[in-house]
Structures are given as structure tokens and as C-alpha cells.
């Protein structure tokens, strides 16, 4: 049984953050968000959600639909394995608190269409989906309104974001300002908490680590699988034979060493690479061993949670109940403010 959340008496505020149900997470997700989530739970009241309704905006086939539930399970296992603590945080699935859809509709009454069409990520998504602004589904246009509803339904005042997500948060703030101006003070304006996560380049050495590009290393991969994948990593393209000194500064294997190897070993890698004293295969094996060491405690915890059937479901149901209590209070207040009761 999952028990009530423990909050520090000096809690700084309420954080809301979410992830789309993409299944098992990778190193980029860990260093880009999850590690930060674990740290934030020490100081804030944290509400973390699996944003499955957002995932529906880009779903294309029954196969995608069939993957949602297993993906939620696998992803939340990674959250727990990383140290996100259901005793401190509220963890739940977005669609299990239907009040968010009500609030989405109500907030859309104060959101000009022009604001949504100007969002840079909207235009980018339309291009990626090979659609036009006229043919794209309405859910995608309203994505930032649903994001705003996600945040303000729980009166969250702080949202951890990367630099690229700042325009979304600014839009949420504008929607909140408009709502408060028209209907009276109801929601806090959410503040950005900028996360300075390193950009994790994938094994192809060119693009951000991403599952869709298949250039990633899953947190839950076996040590053997991790080694196999690291051995495929691109290195310094000029180092075509072992006797040519390498250039660590252009090699992504070296960037990954800086993240996962102890500082003295990073120094050795640099020295031995630039003097051709080490080959790239040995260098990658060395990196894989250090990534495996780094992930070992997380993988052990994951195994433990995996051996507790029903635990993830229990955590999410428990979190959903807590989230719903807050959501219903907010919707009650919104109905009053908007003259609906
Ligand atoms: S030795 Fe290591 S750091 Fe140098 S180019 Fe090869 S993989 Fe990269």
C-alpha cells in the first residue's frame, strides 16, 4: 500500500512537470529531466504526471494506441528506479483526472487563436507531421492550453523548463493573466525554473539522444546491451586508423566520458586519445563499463519494483486520487468565478 505524501515543512512551492508516455527512458531523459525531478522533490511539493492525452495529438494508428498502457508502465518504473518517491510526490496519469479536460475547455475561452498559431513548436510539429495549419488536428493547436490546464489545475507556481520550452510557459502565463483579469484572481502565474541540463548527443554523434532516432541508451538496458550500443558510437571521423591521434573535443564518446567517468579517468582518456595511446574500441568499452557502473543502482531498484506486480498501478491510482481532490477544488472555484454555478 502506498501511504500519504511526506512534505518538508519548508516546502518552497508546487512544481508540476509531465512526460509523454514514451516507454523506457534513456540517458538523455535521465540527465535532461528525471535527475532534476529527483532533486526537486527534496524542496518542493512535486506533482509529476504522465501526459497521455498530449500523446494522443500525434497518434496515428491502433498500434500506437496499444502501446500507451505498456509505455506508461515502463516509464513510471524508470521514474521510481531513478528515485522519484511516491511518498513525497504525487504521481499520476493525466487522463485519470478528467477535470483537466474541463479546465482546458474553459481556458480556451480566454485564449486567442493567434497566440496558439504563433507558438514555434506548433509550426515545427506541423512541418514534421507533413500537415498544414488547416489540416492538423485541433488537439495539436490547443496543446499549450491543455499544458496550461495541467499546471494551473493544481495551482502549481513553478515549472521546471529548458530554454526551448520558455515560450510555452510564457503563453501559460498570458492565459493565466487573462483569466485572472476577466474572472478575478484564481491562479498563480507559474514561474519558470530553468534547468541547466547538458545536451546529450546520441550515439550517432550528430543529433540529440532520442528514441525515435535510435541513437539512445536505455536506462533499463542490460550491461551487455549497453556495451553493444556504445560500441556503435561515432567517434572522431579523422581517426581512421589506430595510430592517428584523436581529437576528443569533436568526439561524442569523450563527451559521454565527461558525464559518466570519474574526472581522473577523463583526463587519462584525453591524454591517451591525443597521443594515440588508446584505440577507440577500448575507449568505448571503458565508457560502457562506466555507464553500467553509474546505472547499476538504478537498474537494481528497477528490478525490485518489477518484482512487485501491481505496484506501479497502485502508485498511479493513489496519486490519481490525491490529484483529483485538488483538481475538484480548483474546478469548483473556477465554476464559481465563471458564473457557472
Ligand atoms: S580514443 Fe576515445 S575519445 Fe579519442 S576519438 Fe576514440 S573514442 Fe573518441
pLDDT at 259: 94
From CA 180, how far away is CA 91, in angstroms rounded?
28
253 lines ligand 1 (CB under 6 A): yes
Contacts of 145 (CB under 8 A, 6+ apart): 104, 107, 108, 111, 116, 175
> 257 C-alpha vs ligand 1 centroid, how far in Å?
10
Taking residues 233-253, report their average pLDDT: 96
Range from 51-65, 67-81, 126-140 that averages highest in pLDDT: 67-81
Rounded to 5 degrees, φ, ψ at 340 are -95, -10
Q: Which tens digit of pLDDT belongs to each residue from 177-235?
A: 999 999 999 999 999 998 877 789 999 998 999 998 999 999 999 999 999 999 999 99
Instruction: State whether the Cα torsion 199-204-209-212 is positive or negative.
Output: positive
Is this model's pTM higher than 0.85 or not? yes
* Choice between 235 and 135, residue whose per-residue pLDDT is larger: 235
pLDDT at 4: 41
From CA 65, how far away is CA 69, in angstroms rounded?
8
pLDDT at 33: 93
Q: Which tens digit of pLDDT belongs to each residue from 42-66?
A: 999 999 999 999 999 888 899 999 9
By percentage, how much of the chain surpasses pLDDT 90? 84
288 lines ligand 1 (CB under 6 A): no
From CA 4, how far away is CA 90, in angstroms rounded?
9
Question: Helices 120-128 and 166-183 meet at what angle, rounded to 10?
Answer: 120
> 146 C-alpha vs ligand 1 centroid, how far in Å?
45
Closest CA to 20 of 52, 62, 61, 59: 52
Pocket test for ligand 1, best of 280, 282, 284 (most atoms within 8 A of CB): 280
Contacts of 52 (CB under 8 A, 6+ apart): 20, 21, 68, 72, 93, 94, 95
Contact present, 53 and 160 (Cβ < 8 Å): no
110 lines ligand 1 (CB under 6 A): no
> 210 C-alpha vs ligand 1 centroid, how far in Å?
22
230 lines ligand 1 (CB under 6 A): no
Please, which pLDDT band fits residue 2 given cuts at 50, 70 and 90? very low
Nearest CA to ligand 1 atom 6: 280
Amino acid at each position: 500500500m502506498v501511504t500519504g505524501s511526506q512534505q518538508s515543512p519548508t516546502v518552497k512551492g508546487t512544481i508540476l512537470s509531465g512526460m509523454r508516455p514514451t516507454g523506457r527512458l534513456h540517458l538523455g531523459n535521465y540527465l535532461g529531466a528525471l535527475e532534476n525531478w529527483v532533486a526537486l522533490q527534496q524542496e518542493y511539493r512535486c506533482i509529476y504526471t504522465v501526459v497521455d492525452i498530449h500523446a494522443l495529438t500525434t497518434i496515428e494508428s491502433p498500434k500506437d494506441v496499444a502501446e500507451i498502457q505498456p509505455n506508461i508502465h515502463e516509464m513510471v518504473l524508470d521514474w521510481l528506479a531513478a528515485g522519484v518517491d511516491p511518498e513525497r510526490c504525487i504521481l499520476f496519469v493525466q487522463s485519470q483526472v478528467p477535470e483537466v479536460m474541463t479546465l482546458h475547455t474553459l481556458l480556451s475561452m480566454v485564449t486567442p487563436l493567434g497566440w496558439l498559431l504563433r507558438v514555434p513548436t506548433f509550426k515545427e510539429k506541423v512541418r514534421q507531421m507533413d500537415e498544414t495549419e488547416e489540416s492538423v488536428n485541433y488537439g495539436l493547436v490547443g496543446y499549450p492550453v491543455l499544458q496550461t490546464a495541467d499546471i494551473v489545475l493544481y495551482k502549481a507556481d513553478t515549472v521546471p523548463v529548458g530554454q526551448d520550452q520558455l515560450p510555452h510557459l510564457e503563453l501559460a502565463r498570458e492565459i493565466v493573466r487573462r483569466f485572472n483579469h476577466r474572472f478575478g484572481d484564481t491562479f498563480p502565474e507559474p514561474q519558470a525554473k530553468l534547468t541547466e541540463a547538458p545536451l546529450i548527443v546520441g550515439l550517432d554523434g550528430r543529433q540529440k539522444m532520442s528514441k525515435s532516432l535510435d541513437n539512445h541508451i536505455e536506462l533499463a538496458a542490460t550491461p551487455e546491451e549497453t556495451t553493444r550500443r556504445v560500441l556503435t558510437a561515432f567517434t572522431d571521423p579523422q581517426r581512421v586508423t589506430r595510430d592517428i591521434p584523436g581529437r576528443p573535443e569533436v568526439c561524442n564518446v569523450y563527451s559521454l566520458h565527461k558525464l559518466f567517468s570519474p574526472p581522473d579517468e577523463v583526463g587519462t582518456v584525453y591524454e591517451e586519445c591525443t597521443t594515440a595511446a588508446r584505440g577507440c574500441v577500448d575507449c568505448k568499452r571503458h565508457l560502457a563499463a562506466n555507464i553500467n557502473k553509474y546505472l547499476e543502482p538504478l537498474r537494481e531498484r528497477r528490478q525490485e519494483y518489477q518484482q512487485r506486480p501491481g505496484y506501479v498501478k497502485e502508485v498511479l491510482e493513489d496519486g490519481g486520487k490525491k490529484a483529483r481532490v485538488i483538481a475538484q477544488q480548483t474546478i469548483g472555484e473556477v465554476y464559481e468565478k465563471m458564473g457557472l454555478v
